[in-house]
Chains A and B, each alone.
Chain A
Amino acid sequence: KQEVTQIPAALSVPEGENLVLNCSFTDSAIYNLQWFRQDPGKGLTSLLLIQSSQREQTSGRLNASLDKSSGRSTLYIAASQPGDSATYLCAVSSAGANSKLTFGKGITLSVRP
């Protein structure tokens, strides 16, 4: 059974800092990995999707990498801003019988002005 872990559960950084959010998964047989952002009381917004054949994806100040063999992904946020404060979740699509994503519990990021 696929398990996705995100540690730490919460992170507080000063504005302007470059930061890395980690995601690990137990089964390397995946189709893709996605990073989502969730603001309080809102739904999830897809940030980046990395297919299993890819190593990284970039969008603006965000860069996500994928190392399937080690079961790890990182989300790099450059020059963090208070508006980046949110919960960041990763999810993997596993090569199993059921069509579903397995989500981590998320990292709540607070960027201090």
Chain B
Amino acid sequence: DAGITQSPRHKVTETGTPVTLRCHQTENHRYMYWYRQDPGHGLRLIHYSYGVKDTDKGEVSDGYSVSRSKTEDFLLTLESATSSQTSVYFCAISESGTRSGANVLTFGAGSRLTVL
């Protein structure tokens, strides 16, 4: 997990409340990603960023928004949390994009979110 930190690591919240997860990197990598991992579904991409203020949707982006105002920080926000958003959220970083033949992803340790 060196160079990438997620916070909080664990959070319990109630349905309808806003939640923000933070991903912080010290590697100065251009690309940052948010994934969620659920039993039976594997890892699915929520949103990603290819530069400051440059973001795009992944395959499960509904109910989530992201922001990247600095290279090192990528925030994931659940505007109004629902029970279906209970999951483990992983941030990942890479020097180059996934279209590059050599983009190795480095993952954070994960943030476990429970929505009651």
Measured CB to CB, the residues of A under 8 A from B are 31-32, 34, 36, 41-46, 49, 51-53, 89, 91, 93, 95, 98-101, 103-106
Contacts and interface: CB of A to CB of B under 8 A. Distances in A.
Given A98-B58, A103-B43, A105-B42, A45 B97 contact: no
Interface in B40-78: 40-45, 48, 50, 56-59
Contacts of A41: 110
A42 B105 contact: no
B104 interface: yes
6 contacts: A31-B99, A49-B103, A98-B56, A99-B56, A101-B98, A105-B41
A106 B38 CA distance: 12
* Secondary structure type dominating chain B contacts: loop
A93 B101 CA distance: 9
A16 B35 CA distance: 35
Contacts of B90: 43-44
Contact of B45 (A36, A45, A51, A100): A100
Given A89-B43, A104-B42, A105-B42, A34 B48 contact: no
B101 A31 contact: yes
A104 B41 CA distance: 9
B99 A95 contact: yes
B106 interface: yes
Contacts of B84: none
A44 B90 CA distance: 9
A31 B90 CA distance: 23
